[in-house]
Structure 1
Amino acid sequence: MRKAISEQFVRGSGAKRLAGLGALTLVAASAAWAQDETTADAVQTNANIIWTLLAAVLVFWMQAGFAFVESGFTRAKSAAHIMMKNLLDMSLGALSFWILGFGLMFGASTGLWIGGDHFMLSPDNGTADGQWEYTFWMFQVVFAATAATIVSGAMAERTKFSGYLVYSLVISAIIYPVFGHWAWGNLLIGDNSGAWLAGMGFNDFAGSTVVHSVGGWAALAGAMAVGPRLGKFGKDGKARAIPGHNMPMAALGVFILFMGWFGFNSGSTTTADGSVSRIAVNTFLAGCTGGVMAMFFSWFKFGKADVGMTLNGVLAGLVGITAGCATTTPLGAIIIGAIAGPLVMYSVLFFDAIKIDDPVGAVSVHGVCGAWGTLAAGLLHENLFTGAEYDLGGAIFVQLTGIVTAFVWTFVTAFILFKIVGATVGLRVTEQEEIEGLDLGEHGSSAYPDFVQAGGSAGYSAAATKVSSHV
């Protein structure tokens, strides 16, 4: 076309030459504009991929945070066992998520309200769609690992390693993906009929319920199924403190988790654009407010600013903001954190009162505060602050529907799973193994060999006998 216009320009009259020059300029500009548009789209696509993978790495780093928090809040004699559980629930979970879980969660819906394809994901890396599927899988698998590892803390210091491995396979392959399909099943395939909660307008942007409450309610089922640690509850029914061995380690874990949460929440945009900035601000404010409020309430309740409660208050604020981080205002984020902080403290005391032993407060942080955050995403939507039209009653109904559905599905299936595990491979270690520590009993090693050699099995046994005599 450009050749014909050029010939017209050379052979024609002055007027024709002028018209030809204008047409040639228009065609050239149009071609350049189309090329620039294509280049801009490619740049944006690649930026999205890089940003999402970077966020996935931050979320992966949270596994170290969970391991440090759980180990610091518990006793030294089971620290290596805890590290093994956190490593293996991620590793086995990633394999089961690749084989089955991802397809159930994000595949095209079947008549059973689950995905039916995208199993053993292996798209063509030479296409843009294939490259994005690899990216999306990487981001989602670290979310699945987060849900799985939450349970470890609630079952710490008395859970059999082999039984925990069975749980790790099942939660990442079935329990987490099935509920995830109902809430997030439309994220990869837009029109997915099985994503019925998403169709109702369920607002859980980064997973207060989909990730954290699912992990928290599975943790509740596990803590109930495995029973409390030896010496946790006395004859009077009151809970006894079993101090963690390394609070600085737990604090470091919270800092690592806080850092990773910016990838968790901001990365859930899966788009490299300006929307991530407000999400990051909301995340930061909610976490800080949760810690401050938990500190003050523990100070008032116990007469001292409790370190463990303050650390959990930070995590509670972060869990709480995860659902509404993209749809509330900074003031809304502060309100969410301000309620999550004291809520986690009183929740921990409640579970102690009903004799459910949760050494790290996982059920309270992730289950209870995840439910609060999901409800708050409806209660504190930005439209309420701007005066825009918003159906508050309808939003609360939808959010409660998602919260209740997550609890019923997760708790029932996880409790049945733990009971089956207990009746087959076994769920709880022997009393002697628990007394000596799971590092020795389950792995024949120790996180602190010099410390263990100094105390020895006899030392642990004597200490346990002394505790038992007062129970």
Structure 2
Amino acid sequence: MTLRRSTGAMALTALAALAVPAVAAADTLEAYNNGAVVSNTLINTMWVLVAAVLVLFMQAGFAMLEIGFSRAKNAGAGVAKILTNLSIAAICYWAVGFALAFGVDDSVYGLFGTDGFLLRGYSEVAPSADLAELGVVQGDPRAAFPVMGLSDATIEAKWLFQFAFCAVSLAIVWGTTLERIKYSAYVIYAIVFASIIYPVGSHWVFGGGWLQETVGMQDFAGSTAVHLIGATGALAALLLLGARKGKFGPDGVPRAIPGHSMPLVGLGT
């Protein structure tokens, strides 16, 4: 894929990502008009948004760290991958991932959520008996995303916060495949990871899935749902890709491949 085509594809993906908030907010606006959104939602939503932006700043750190450790000729590919992380993961997590991770689980054995795809349609979901006792009414997003009911921030803000962690988990894969994978192959991996792998795994841990409900698993600061899933996905990719080209000489002795910018590494760390 040429640089011009890659740039065009990233630009189109970014434009599509800009449309996500406008489309997703329709049900929340309807819920607000129907009185299903409480008055202190605004301040709680603002706090969740601030926290989400702080998490998203990690992407800048990842970019500097990984680009600094790469050779100068591959720095541009690193920039393209970090943009891919955000744009593709945003669309996939909005369309499919968030519902699989936090939607009402009507699946067998608590494997994945089944409601709230495209962040739409939850205004038609009736609350369970337990949620109804807590004052949750039809039209309240907590009916479709019961695990997210501890805060009354809007569901779009909660989506942004959780998407930020999905992008962080995917960035772990990006860092470990540094100078090892073609850009087109990474795009395919990013789609699968953000749509299925991370959402299903995180649902098991803190989305109301079988690990949380059956054995009472608790996740500390995303150590399992974010870091372990990302690391496992990265290990699987590395087992398939192998070492970087030029890492081993003809005699099998490993060669050093120093990064081109230690200041970037320091800033990213």
Under a length normalisation based on structure 2, what TM-score does the superposition of the two structures give?
0.70
User: Over residues 65-90 of structure 1, what are the superposed CA-to-partner deviations in whole Å (9 max), with x where a residue is unaligned?
Assistant: 11111000110000010110111122
Residue 212 of structure 2 corresponds to 198
Residue 119 of structure 2: SS of its match in structure 1? coil
Q: What is the 5 A alignment of 1:270-281?
A: none
TM-superposed CA distance for 1:233, in Å, is: 2.1
Write the distance in 2 (CA, Å) between the matches of 1:210 and 1:221.
16
Q: Does 1:157 align with 2:179?
A: yes
Residue 241 of structure 1 corresponds to 256
Is contact 2:71–2:260 with CA below 8 Å preserved after alignment? yes
Q: What is the 5 A alignment of 1:5-404?
A: 42-43=39-40, 45-112=41-108, 113-122=111-120, 129=141, 132-186=154-208, 195-199=209-213, 200-254=215-269
- Letter in structure 2 aligned against 1:95: I
Residue 15 of structure 1 corresponds to none
Residue 276 of structure 1 corresponds to none
Write the distance in 1 (CA, Å) between the matches of 2:200 and 2:63.
26
Bigger Rg, structure 1 or 2: 1
- Letter in structure 1 aligned against 2:102: F
Residue 120 of structure 1: SS of its match in structure 2? helix
User: Over residues 184-203 of structure 1, what are the superposed CA-to-partner deviations in whole Å (9 max), with x where a residue is unaligned?
Assistant: 113xxxxxxxx121122212
Write the distance in 2 (CA, Å) between the matches of 1:237 and 1:201.
48
Residue 243 of structure 2: SS of its match in structure 1? coil
User: Over residues 93-145 of structure 1, what are the superposed CA-to-partner deviations in whole Å (9 max), with x where a residue is unaligned?
Assistant: 11011111111111111234211011000367xx8748521111110111111
TM-superposed CA distance for 1:178, in Å, is: 0.6
Write the distance in 2 (CA, Å) between the matches of 1:222 and 1:46.
42
- Letter in structure 2 aligned against 1:117: D
Is contact 2:89–2:167 with CA below 8 Å preserved after alignment? yes
Write the distance in 2 (CA, Å) between the matches of 1:238 and 1:110.
54
Write the distance in 1 (CA, Å) between the matches of 2:265 and 2:100.
35
Write the distance in 1 (CA, Å) between the matches of 2:221 and 2:117.
23
- Letter in structure 2 aligned against 1:79: A
Write the distance in 1 (CA, Å) between the matches of 2:162 and 2:66.
23
Write the distance in 1 (CA, Å) between the matches of 2:237 and 2:58.
22
Residue 117 of structure 2: SS of its match in structure 1? coil
TM-superposed CA distance for 1:236, in Å, is: 4.8
Is contact 2:95–2:118 with CA below 8 Å preserved after alignment? yes
Residue 27 of structure 2 corresponds to none
Residue 244 of structure 1: SS of its match in structure 2? coil
Is contact 1:114–1:181 with CA below 8 Å preserved after alignment? yes
Q: Unaligned 5+ residue runs, structure 1?
A: 1-40, 187-194, 255-471
Write the distance in 2 (CA, Å) between the matches of 1:162 and 1:197.
34
Q: What is the 5 A alignment of 1:414-425?
A: none
Under a length normalisation based on structure 1, what TM-score does the superposition of the two structures give?
0.41
Corresponding residue pairs, total: 203
RCO comparison, higher one (Cα < 8 Å, 6+): 2
Write the distance in 2 (CA, Å) between the matches of 1:232 and 1:224.
15
Percent identity (aligned): 45
- Letter in structure 2 aligned against 1:203: Q
Is contact 1:89–1:169 with CA below 8 Å preserved after alignment? no
TM-superposed CA distance for 1:239, in Å, is: 2.8
Write the distance in 2 (CA, Å) between the matches of 1:92 and 1:111.
26
More helix by share: 1
Is contact 1:90–1:148 with CA below 8 Å preserved after alignment? no
After TM superposition, the runs of 4+ consecutive aligned structure 1 residues lying more than 3 A away are 127-131, 234-238
Write the distance in 2 (CA, Å) between the matches of 1:135 and 1:111.
26
Write the distance in 1 (CA, Å) between the matches of 2:115 and 2:76.
38
TM-superposed CA distance for 1:246, in Å, is: 0.3
TM-superposed CA distance for 1:214, in Å, is: 0.8
